[in-house]
Amino acid sequence: MPEIYTTKKSVTKSLPVEGRYITKRTKTRKIKTARDKALLRMNRKLISISEAIFNLGYEPIHPPVQRGWKRKFVLRSDVAEGPNADFFSALLEKINTTQYSHRKDFKRKGRKYGRKVDKDRIQHLAEIHDWLFVKPHFLTEKEKTFFVKRERFDTKGKSYFMYVFTEPWRYTLKITPNMLTHRRIVSGQLDSENARLDGYLDANCLWPRIYKLRNGYYYGNDWENKKRDVRKLRRINPLTDLNNY
């Protein structure tokens, strides 16, 4: 006769499995453990597919095609001919910024007093964070003398400090065609498998459970998962869906 486990709330009989007996609670725990392991296997496969897609590399485009325009800073003609041209050219590589646009004049649509107008896009040299400014291998002592500390505020009103270049007149903007010379290699099989796995995990709201298994916590909002229509979700069957990965 199988042993009977008695508790204050209920009496649970053990279930026979392969010549031995386990409780219903133990069987439920094993099913959940197998389901979690299957989720982790699926996540590892999704990561391996993403890495394979990233490692496909690029292939050249013959002939190159133009996609809009790009604008970045270059040395002014008088500074480029001066004795400190190499110094300011090396400094520009650390604080240069690039903008892209489909219009050569780099204007954007806007409104002024309710009327549609074209507004100029403002472009500045990059500002350096204070934690990056103090690193010894990023800027030399001579380069640091051309920066000044300024206070900035984020969207919540919290202040932070940035270092701003004090002589931006040494550089000017130059507009050049944005030429595409290479394109990423595409694999239809990998993209299809990646979309299928990601769609399965997303449709069944399994990402919170995966994050909790991997990191030990999940800071997402429950209402984001409750917005989905429960009638459209696929039920999880660990013996058919998850065990295939």
Instruction: Please give the torsion angle defined by the CA atoms of residues 54, 59, 60 and 62, in that order, rounded to the nearest 10 degrees.
Output: -130
Mean pLDDT of the chain: 84
**What does the alpha-carbon distance between residue 11 and residue 8 come to, in Å, rounded to a whole number?**
8
What global pTM score does this model have? 0.68
In this prediction, residue 218 carries a pLDDT of 77
> Which pair of tokens denotes residue 184?
């990423």
Is residue 38 predicted with pLDDT exceeding 70? yes
Is residue 87 predicted with pLDDT exceeding 90? yes
Do 102 and 121 contact (CB within 8 A), yes or no?
Answer: no
In this prediction, residue 204 carries a pLDDT of 81
Is residue 6 predicted with pLDDT exceeding 70? no
For the segment 112-168, what is each residue's pLDDT rounded down to a tens digit?
A: 899 999 999 999 999 999 999 999 889 999 999 999 999 999 989 999 999 999 999
Domain extents in the chain: 27-56+185-244, 62-181
For the segment 100-118, what is each residue's pLDDT rounded down to a tens digit?
A: 999 999 999 999 899 999 9
In this prediction, residue 66 carries a pLDDT of 95
In this prediction, residue 96 carries a pLDDT of 96
In this prediction, residue 1 carries a pLDDT of 39
